[in-house]
């Protein structure tokens, strides 16, 4: 078994243990989120770098794709995407995930891990399975892993009939949630509320156009900062409506646009 995988599996078997307090030096670290394309982001702090929904190729119209240069850098671990220890995919749709891109990333980064749903991990070649984690729970409850300085909690949220995991990252004293394509439903709201508050919520932009989702975020979840993702070429006319619905929302559309938190 790959040594990094052994470290990740240990917390999966100890889900009820309390989270250890981070050293003050880590708490003081700045957390940075870089937008790549569609819902693909790079979250990094304290020497830990995590990709979410960034390893895809063809995408789906009208959603943005990576440039050829960025695609090559991501898949081969070239700067500025070197030293990435964990790649996550919320679900296996082609605008979030590609088995070929993920496989090449793992071959190019021998210490890296990939984690996702049962559906998404099942399509990775068997030769790489030693560094692939299926985080889809059998009992419907969240599962966790530790990668570098980050603790990741995977929360199953409804996205039609497709398995979809939201990820809650705790890193440098801050918490980031990425919802994938979760439906704005009462069931999903309840699961997010149970997982706890977040400093930054990365949500599909249509959550801000849904009155119930807005109400949940403003009255119950209350993220300190909010980013709207999944903005396609035909959605650009919604940008003003997003700002009106949530003043100050970060709605990135430019590759490698980033924000410190």
pLDDT in tens, 230-242: 999 999 999 999 9
Residue 129 scores a pLDDT above 50: yes
Three-state DSSP state, 18:
coil
CA pair distance 197, 220, nearest whole angstrom? 9
What superfamily in CATH does domain 3-7+32-254 come from? Answer: Ribonuclease Z/Hydroxyacylglutathione hydrolase-like (3.60.15.10)
Where residue 38 falls among pLDDT bands split at 50, 70, 90? very high
Residue 220 scores a pLDDT above 90: yes
pLDDT in tens, 67-105: 999 999 999 999 999 999 999 999 999 999 999 999 999
Residue 8 scores a pLDDT above 70: no
**Residue that has been written with the tokens 């891990």 in this structure:** 113
What is the pLDDT, as a whole number, of residue 140?
80
Domain boundaries, the chain: 3-7+32-254
Over range 97-119, report the average pLDDT.
Answer: 98
- pTM score of the predicted model: 0.89
From residue 66, alpha-carbon distances to 73, 163, 178, 195 in Å are 10, 24, 19, 32
* Beta bridge mates, 259: 33
DSSP secondary structure, 153-202, as one string: EEEE--BTBB--EEEEEEETTEEEEE-TT----HHHHHHHHHH---SEEE
What is the pLDDT, as a whole number, of residue 25?
45
Residue 1 scores a pLDDT above 70: no
């Amino acid at each position: 078994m790959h040594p990094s995988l052994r470290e990740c599996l240990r917390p999966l078997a100890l889900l009820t243990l309390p989270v250890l307090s981070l050293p003050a030096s880590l708490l003081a670290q700045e957390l940075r989120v870089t937008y790549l394309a569609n819902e693909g982001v790079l979250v990094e702090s304290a020497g830990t770098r995590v990709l979410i929904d960034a390893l895809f190729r063809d995408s789906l119209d009208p959603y943005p794709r990576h440039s050829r240069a960025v695609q090559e850098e991501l898949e081969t671990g070239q700067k500025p995407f070197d030293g990435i220890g964990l790649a996550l995919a919320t679900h296996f749709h082609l605008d979030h995930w590609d088995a070929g891109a993920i496989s090449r990333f793992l071959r190019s980064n021998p210490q890296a891990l990939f984690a996702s749903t049962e559906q998404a991990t099942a399509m990775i070649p068997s030769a790489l399975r030693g560094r692939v984690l299926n985080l889809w729970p059998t009992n419907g409850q969240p599962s966790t892993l530790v990668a570098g300085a980050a603790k990741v909690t995977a929360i199953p949220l409804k996205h039609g009939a497709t398995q979809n995991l939201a990820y809650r990252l705790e890193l440098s004293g801050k918490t980031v949630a990425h919802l994938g394509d979760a439906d704005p439903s009462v069931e999903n709201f309840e699961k997010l509320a149970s997982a706890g508050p977040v400093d930054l919520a990365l949500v599909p932009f249509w959550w801000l156009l849904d009155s119930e989702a807005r109400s949940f975020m403003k009255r119950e979840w209350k993220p300190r900062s909010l980013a709207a993702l999944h903005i396609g070429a035909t959605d650009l006319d919604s940008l003003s409506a997003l700002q009106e619905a949530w003043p100050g929302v970060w709605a990135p559309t430019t590759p490698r646009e980033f924000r410190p938190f």
